């Protein structure tokens, strides 16, 4: 856990970057209402107006400021770059450079990092190694290389010292979240501290390249027989916590629209397949790539009329519970069918709004928001904006942010923004609805529901053959602990710690051998200790 001083160091860095790049001018250029900012922020912007701005354009200043602020802010800039509908074209174009062209670290640092991780000179592991990086992002950069057997690979290296930067930024975010929760009652509904912790878990997970390698292997296995998506294979022998070795792929970046047009790509097929790929990951596999910005997606143009995707950078992966999956599918279909009563009921049943909510009143509000939107052609409605509008409206009913769904919401926004860039007429609704109907029909099939209920019983039955051995081991453990307990009680009772310690030891041993959840062991030990402390003891 970081100290408050670390968080304030990050806060001062933000103020310095804001001054350095004259970010006070950017809200005006984007047409943002400054009157809604807190008075302290408005005072800071007024003070900055006295500093010369130079001639660097606003889009370039914003991109360089985000780079200077570090990986957490770069991730946010990457999201904005895929949503040109939220920014002017100039700003969106500039922020696209954050996807794979962040300023790289030098060749010497790259070589030192790699040799330290592999425990020897590069020449012992690679036939060739390209000093100039192929791409550079917020947490790592990628180099081309060739293995001794001639296989072409890419080498992903973690930025030196990036862990300290991320810890500093997270410390600041945690303090801001706590301050918001204390000072602004409306923020409690958004559960900012939970959201920050969820994001911290995600971004800290990105630092472990062995976890990313495992995610990559799993995603590759999920789509091994599918024409929708290809995932490079992992070269496991050289992978380390800060080094990842993957098969090198040769394809067209999804953001290179000119190259895609020149090849005669069928953009409608490509956009529709992107939506299908997303829903397949979320509902069929329950294992979805949650960082699908354009820098991580390539297109295989072997057959331009039948293009397919290639995905890299599987550090951020999302999963959902069975309940979340079913709720989402039913909720989406209710929206598609304009069944506002079902939407309201599902929000209450899922816990998104409190159980005491007036369902009829909530339904009326949802209808009021949705009907004007559905008066437009579905293809013209932004699904992401629609959900955000609905969430904003539901605040009156104490609707809470669900941290476990933040990754899914972010990924859906990315997918829709990317799809609209490829094919502006993309009708995400039409593409998604049949998929949801088929998936939900399978889930609600009586035979499938019986199978779901039988699986725990089958798992329990499979464990029965080993039950006698576990029982014998448990009995042996209990006899040993009872012997130890008797020996302790036979000694003079100098303090209460002896019987308490023995009780804890006995209860933990019984709990572990009985297979109890670790969450139950603590209360069990305290209960046993309490009983021994209050019961009369015999003294020799």
pTM: 0.67
Residue pLDDT, tens place only, 422-472:
888 877 777 777 887 888 888 776 655 455 455 555 555 555 565 566 566
Residues 274, 289 contacting (CB under 8 angstroms): no
Token code pair at residue 33: 């209402």
Q: Angle at the Cα of 383 (from 90 to 357), degrees rounded to 5?
A: 130
- Specify the residue for token string 């909510």: 357
pLDDT at 457: 57
* Distances, alpha carbon 330 to alpha carbons 225, 336, 421, 489, in Å: 28, 10, 28, 61
Residues 175, 167 contacting (CB under 8 angstroms): no
CATH topology of domain 107-160+208-318: Transferase(Phosphotransferase); domain 1 (1.10.510)
Residue pLDDT, tens place only, 341-396:
998 888 888 877 788 888 898 889 888 888 887 777 666 767 666 666 666 666 67
Token code pair at residue 527: 């209960």
Q: Distance between CA atoms of 336 and 32, rounded to whole angstroms?
A: 32
Q: Distance between CA atoms of 281 and 318, rounded to whole angstroms?
A: 9
CA-CA-CA-CA dihedral for 282, 287, 292, 296, to nearest 10: -150
Which member of 168, 272, 291, 300 is catalytic? 291
- CB neighbour list of residue 160: distance below 8 Å, 6 or more residues apart: 105, 109, 113
**Axis crossing angle, helix 4-20 with helix 162-183, rounded to the nearest 10:** 100
Calculate the average pLDDT of the chain: 76
Instruction: Quickly list DSSP for 113-124.
Output: HHHHHHTS-GGG
Q: Please tell me which residue, 234 or 49, carries the higher pLDDT value.
A: 234
Backbone dihedral region of 286: left (phi > 0), alpha (psi from -120 to 50 degrees) or beta? Answer: left
Asked whether the predicted pLDDT for residue 142 surpasses 90, the reply is: yes
Q: Please tell me which residue, 404 or 413, carries the higher pLDDT value.
A: 413
Average pLDDT over residues 205-221: 94
φ and ψ at residue 425, rounded to 5 degrees: -85, 10
pLDDT at 183: 63
Q: Distance between CA atoms of 401 and 353, rounded to whole angstroms?
A: 10
pLDDT band at 504 (very low <50, low <70, confident <90, very high): very low
pLDDT at 208: 92
Token code pair at residue 167: 């810890």
Annotated catalytic, 291?
yes
Token code pair at residue 173: 């975010």
Residues 320, 304 contacting (CB under 8 angstroms): no
pLDDT at 223: 96
Q: What is the DSSP letter of 286?
A: S
Token code pair at residue 121: 């000179």
Count of CB atoms situated within 10 Å of the CB of 535: 8
pLDDT at 497: 43
Q: Which residues pair with 129 in a beta bridge?
A: 145
- CB neighbour list of residue 130: distance below 8 Å, 6 or more residues apart: 143, 144, 145
Q: Distance between CA atoms of 215 and 202, rounded to whole angstroms?
A: 13
């Amino acid at each position: 856990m970081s100290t408050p001083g670390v968080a304030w160091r990050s806060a001062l860095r933000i103020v310095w970057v804001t001054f350095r790049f004259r970010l006070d001018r950017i809200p005006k250029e984007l047409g943002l209402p400054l009157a809604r900012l807190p008075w302290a922020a408005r005072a800071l912007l007024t003070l900055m107006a006295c500093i010369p701005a130079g001639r660097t354009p606003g889009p370039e200043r914003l991109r360089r400021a985000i780079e200077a602020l570090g990986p957490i802010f770069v991730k946010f800039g990457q999201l904005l770059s895929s949503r040109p509908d939220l920014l002017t074209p100039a700003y969106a174009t500039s922020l696209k450079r954050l996807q794979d062209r962040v300023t790289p670290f030098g060749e010497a640092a790259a070589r030192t990092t790699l040799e330290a991780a592999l425990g020897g000179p590069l020449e012992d592991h690679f036939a060739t190694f390209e000093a100039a990086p192929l791409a550079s992002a917020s947490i790592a950069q990628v180099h081309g290389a060739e293995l001794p057997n001639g296989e072409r690979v890419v080498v992903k290296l973690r930025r030196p010292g990036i862990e300290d930067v991320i810890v500093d930024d997270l410390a600041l975010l945690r303090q801001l979240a706590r301050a918001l929760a204390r000072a602004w009652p409306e923020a409690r509904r958004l559960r900012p501290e939970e959201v920050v912790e969820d994001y911290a878990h995600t971004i800290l997970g990105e630092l472990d390249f062995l976890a990313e390698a495992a995610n990559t292997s799993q995603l590759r296995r999920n789509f091994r027989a599918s024409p929708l998506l290809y995932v490079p294979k992992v070269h496991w022998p050289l992978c380390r916590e800060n080094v990842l070795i993957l098969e090198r792929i040769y394809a067209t970046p999804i953001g290179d629209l000119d190259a895609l047009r020149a090849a005669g790509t069928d953009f409608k097929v490509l956009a529709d397949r992107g939506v299908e790929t997303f829903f397949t990951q979320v509902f069929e596999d329950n294992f979805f790539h949650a960082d699908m910005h354009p820098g991580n997606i390539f297109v295989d143009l072997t057959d331009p009329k039948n293009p397919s995707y290639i995905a890299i950078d599987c550090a951020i992966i999302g999963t959902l519970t069975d309940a979340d999956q079913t709720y989402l599918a039913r909720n989406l279909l209710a929206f598609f069918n304009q069944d506002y009563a079902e939407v309201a009921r599902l929000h209450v049943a899922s816990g998104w709004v409190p159980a005491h909510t007036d369902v009829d009143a909530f339904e009326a509000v949802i209808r009021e928001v949705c009907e004007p939107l559905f008066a437009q052609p579905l293809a013209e409605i932004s699904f992401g904006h629609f959900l955000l509008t609905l969430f904003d409206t539901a605040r009156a009913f104490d609707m809470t942010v669900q941290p476990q769904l933040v990754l899914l919401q972010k990924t859906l926004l990315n997918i829709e923004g990317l799809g609209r860039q490829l094919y502006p007429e993309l009708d995400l609704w039409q593409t998604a609805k049949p998929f949801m109907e088929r998936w939900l029909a399978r889930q609600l099939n009586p035979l499938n529901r019986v199978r779901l209920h039988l699986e725990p019983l089958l798992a329990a039955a499979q464990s029965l053959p080993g039950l006698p051995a576990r029982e014998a081991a448990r009995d042996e453990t209990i006899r040993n602990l009872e012997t130890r307990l008797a020996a302790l009680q036979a000694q003079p009772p100098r303090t209460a710690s002896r019987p308490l310690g023995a009780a804890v030891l006995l209860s933990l041993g019984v709990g572990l051998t009985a297979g109890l959840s670790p969450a139950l062991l603590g209360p069990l030990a305290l209960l046993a200790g309490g009983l021994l402390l209050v019961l009369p003891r015999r003294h020799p």
